[in-house]
Amino acid sequence: MSQFWSGIVHELTPYVPGEQPKVQDLIKLNTNENPYGPSPKVIAAITAEATDALRLYPDPNSERLKTVIADYHGLSAAQVFVGNGSDEVLAHVFQALLKHSRPLLFPDITYSFYPVYCGLYGIEYEAIPLDRHFEINIHNYDRPNGGIIFPNPNAPTGIPLELDKIEALLQKNRYSVVVVDEAYVDFGTESAVRLINTYPNLLVTQTLSKARSLAGLRLGFALGHPDLIEALTRVKDSFNSYPVDRLAEAGAIAAMQDVDYFEAMREKVIAARDSLVKKMEAIGFVILPSGANFILAKHPSIDGETLAQKLREQRIIVRHFKKPKRIAPFVRITIGTELEMAQLLKAFTFIVST
């Protein structure tokens, strides 16, 4: 009954998330979730919060959580914005800070939600090609713009951008907001958070979905100058006063405070990644250098789509992107447990030899 639709709905091309399969006993390496569960302290905090108090609305400003995040990063609570996953935070960022007469710039190969938000909010953009090594070349961003956004490390390449290059971008673009989407930063990429007090045009977003194993809880945040945070709060308070529920706030506080658990889990993932890369290279794979909890890999004798399909026959699911064409030869593989990585390697060895 699409005659009932608002005009813009006809024009939307929604984001397509990776598959969440209904069947059991698949090795799921397609959506960059953490293979290890969240800290037991998170589960305890959520359980403790699941009381009669749920009849009451949560704190609309999540002040306790903002303070904990600010303390963790050495900032003030006025420099923190929290939301229902960083996808929601990013949506507000696009609407509040990136819609201007000049185009928004982002890499041509990047998080595919960015062009979707542009469509939703009517933001003009230019996709800037990655160089031939699939890296961001900051000189290509030297053009009039109404903002710049990229993930660091980039997705789905996994390649980090050095902090001095981010700083150069910030210096060259003092009249635009530069957004660094640090969804995967904790897996071995240097964070831009320490530049926040120097550059009022820097906004950093992070999420509890990846390194803190809480994709199911939906908690993301943005860090930046209080004026940038104020813009996000205005949009949020015109959209949903309570994006972070009581259980999510309690769980997120516990997750941010359990630093030991967080450090141990991310180190396990990094070690599993580095070991997998070596073993895959030994059987002929080409892998882009990753500072994330996933790798982008290709094999000279099997195309990406076939590789993904053959893995699926072995009950392993990875992500294949048909577009853009330059990454079609690759598959994106999430780093799992050591056991899962051993099974993956066994499957690859079989596929490559047949």
Ligand X SMILES: *Cc1c(COP(=O)(O)O)cnc(C)c1O
Q: Which stretch binds ligand X (CB under 6 A): 130-138, 207-215, 231-239, 321-329?
A: 207-215
| 111 touching ligand X, by CB under 6 A | yes
Q: Least separation, in Å, of the C-beta of 244 and ligand X?
A: 12
Q: Least separation, in Å, of the C-beta of 141 and ligand X?
A: 18
Contact 152, 189 (CB under 8 A): yes
| 30 touching ligand X, by CB under 6 A | no
* Nearer of residues 86 and 173 to ligand X, judged by Cβ: 86
Q: Least separation, in Å, of the C-beta of 118 and ligand X?
A: 15
Given phi > 0 = left and psi -120 to 50 = alpha, else beta, which region is 315?
left
CA distance 318 to 333: 5
CA distances from 206 to 184, 282, 287, 340 (A): 8, 34, 25, 27
Residue among 178, 118, 116 at smallest CA distance from 151: 178
Out of 157, 176, 201, 209, which residue is the one contacting ligand X (CB under 6 A)?
209
State whether the Cα torsion 209-212-217-218 is positive or negative. negative
DSSP string, 262-293: HHHHHHHHHHHHHHHHHHHHHTT-EE---SSS
CA distance 277 to 5: 48
CA distance 208 to 162: 23
Q: Least separation, in Å, of the C-beta of 53 and ligand X?
A: 25
CA distance 214 to 204: 19
* Nearer of residues 32 and 145 to ligand X, judged by Cβ: 32
Q: Least separation, in Å, of the C-beta of 353 and ligand X?
A: 33
| 182 touching ligand X, by CB under 6 A | no
Q: Could you tell me where the DSSP H helices lie in the chain?
A: 7-11, 40-49, 63-73, 85-97, 113-121, 163-172, 226-236, 246-257, 259-282, 304-313, 338-353
* Nearer of residues 207 and 290 to ligand X, judged by Cβ: 207
CA 47 remoteness from chain centre:
27
Q: Least separation, in Å, of the C-beta of 238 and ligand X?
A: 20
Q: Least separation, in Å, of the C-beta of 209 and ligand X?
A: 3
Out of 26, 78, 163, 215, which residue is the one contacting ligand X (CB under 6 A)?
215
Out of 183, 203, 277, 302, which residue is the one contacting ligand X (CB under 6 A)?
183
| 213 touching ligand X, by CB under 6 A | no
| 207 touching ligand X, by CB under 6 A | yes
Enumerate residues 32-91 that contact ligand X by CB under 6 A: 85-87
| 181 touching ligand X, by CB under 6 A | yes
Contacts with ligand X by CB under 6 A: the residue count is 12
Q: Least separation, in Å, of the C-beta of 338 and ligand X?
A: 23
Enumerate residues 117-156 that contact ligand X by CB under 6 A: 151, 155
Site string for ligand X, 305-344 (x = CB under 6 A): ----------------------------------------
| 199 touching ligand X, by CB under 6 A | no
Q: How many CA atoms are closer than 13 Å to the CA of 78, on its beta-carbon side? A: 5
What torsion, rounded to 10 degrees, do the Cα atoms 321, 89, 220, 46 define? -120
Q: Least separation, in Å, of the C-beta of 192 and ligand X?
A: 14
Q: Applying CB under 6 A, which residues contact ligand X? A: 85-87, 111, 151, 155, 181, 183, 207, 209, 215, 220
